[in-house]
Chains A and B, each alone.
Chain A
Amino acid sequence: MINIDSIQNGLVIDHIKAGTGMDLYHLAGLDKLDCCVAIIRNARSNKHGHKDIIKIESMIDLDLDVLGYVDPDITIDVIRDGVIVEKKKLAKPRRLVNVIKCKNPRCITSIEEGIEHIFYLSENGRYRCTYCEQEHGENRN
């Protein structure tokens, strides 16, 4: 068992699905931080068997939409003076801006300069491009 020191002030992204911590690290832009960041893979979890954890030794503004999109089951612990002062639960965001890109070649996002890629959560729990309404990952051709 590896011991990673607890942090005094910062954030702990907990209950990340085992094996996806590294993807989340990049998607949330944590690779651009200059503070100390620890990624723990395959930590033991009573609930899921295994999980990944990311500890960030700084109070940064995390993009909760990105985190909620990647994995709505994760929790975020806010730590001050070594004590958890807040536990944030995430949910799938209703709207995503510039998190994923529309792949539909017929969509205006494929040619318009400076356009934001906006997706909304549809009734079936998947994301649709606000412009062409194509589901993310769907190919209608």
Chain B
Amino acid sequence: MRHLIDPLDFSVEEIYSILKLADDIVANPNTYQNVCAHKKLATLFYEPSTRTRLSFEAAMLNLGGSVLGFSSADSSSASKGESIADTIRVISGYADIAAMRHPKEGAPLRAARYSTIPVINAGDGGHQHPTQTLTDLMTIRRRKGRLTDLTIGLCGDLKFGRTVHSLIKSLSRYENIRFVLISPDELRVPEYVISEVLAPKAIEFEQITSLEDAMPKLDILYMTRVQRERFFNEEDYIRLKDTYILNAEKMQLAKKDMAVLHPLPRVNEITLEVDDDPRAAYFEQAQNGVYVRMALIMTLLGLTQEDKAND
């Protein structure tokens, strides 16, 4: 049985199939409206994340399936001290597929080892968020028509930003990718991202602190929020949270066909005036998140045309 725990669990070819299916869902939504009839998705959210949970639920409902679950640890059996291993074994009897969000890193992997239904990692602490990565890849591909030959700027919290680490790992598998890593010195990407992901593949990258300097080079600008919950120290958070703000003035420095992505929610790192710029792709990105989760659910449940042909 397949799970999605790490963004690299799928090969480049498998990701291509999922993105292609997502494109087809965009083009022909009616074809898919009953594909998951009588199937149930369990959303096991041990920490609140309304956006991701609703995206998963919308995806399953669009496919004609049903959803059940909980949206915080307080309303789950975890508050009574039940282990992940026990919870997923019980849920395996209630649903056909599960999406798990957990504040502790590695919780969905633990669940997958005991589960008899496919488990999707919907974010595990500061570790991985593979469906966000699929969403990002889909948005880049739809905007640029390719996942190769791109200069990608990642800006903001590159230390704790799990979406950033996952995206770097995933894009590193494509040809001719360059990264411009824009962050304050305190929030640079962890050393292992460089030594284990970028350096072994000789991927071109630069680490800079100026967003303005980076703008003209970029095909994609991936903005991130400095997240309060990732800091142990409130002072550090307050000092760094306003470091990078993207506004109309900075957008003038960018290529005409650049795309701005953001995993959302934003706080103030992208000003509202940028929303009207055709290069702003972040709301479209959120919409793509539903389509790509639909494609993912179908794939993990073996409901794609390819799976049927192989039956």
Contact = CB atoms under 8 A, between A and B. Distances in A.
Contact of A108 (B107, B190, B232): B107
A130 B124 CA distance: 13
A135 B192 contact: yes
Interface stretch (A1-9, A78-86, A109-117): A109-117
B85 A107 contact: no
A135 B193 CA distance: 13
A56 B233 CA distance: 52
Interface in B103-130: 103-107, 109-110, 124-127
Interface string A102-126: 0010111111111100000011100
Given A106-B104, A108-B105, A131-B110, A124 B196 contact: yes
B104 A111 contact: yes
Interface of A: 104, 106-115, 122-124, 129-135, 140-141
B145 interface: no
B93 interface: no
Nearest to A131: B106
Contacts of A115: 83, 85, 110
Interface string B178-205: 0000000000001010011000100000
B105 A106 contact: yes
Contact of B109 (A110, A122, A130, A141): A130
B102 interface: yes
B84 interface: yes
A110 B85 contact: no
B196 A108 contact: no
B83 A113 contact: yes
B105 A107 contact: yes
A131 B190 CA distance: 17
A141 B105 contact: no
Contacts of B124: 108
Interface in B125-162: 125-127
A104 B130 CA distance: 21
Nearest to A126: B192
Main secondary structure of the interface of A (DSSP, over half): loop
B196 A131 contact: no
Interface in B242-281: none
Nearest to A107: B105
A130 to B, nearest CB: 7
Which of B102, B106, B125 is most buried by chain A, counting CB atoms within 10 A of its CB? B106
22 contacts: A104-B105, A106-B126, A106-B127, A107-B104, A107-B105, A108-B84, A108-B106, A112-B84, A112-B85, A112-B104, A114-B83, A115-B83, A115-B110, A122-B196, A124-B195, A131-B105, A131-B106, A131-B107, A131-B109, A132-B105, A132-B127, A134-B105
Contact of A132 (B106, B190, B232): B106
A134 B127 CA distance: 10
A92 B265 CA distance: 44
A129 B85 contact: no
Which of B85, B102, B103, B110 is most buried by chain A, counting CB atoms within 10 A of its CB? B110
A8 B122 CA distance: 59
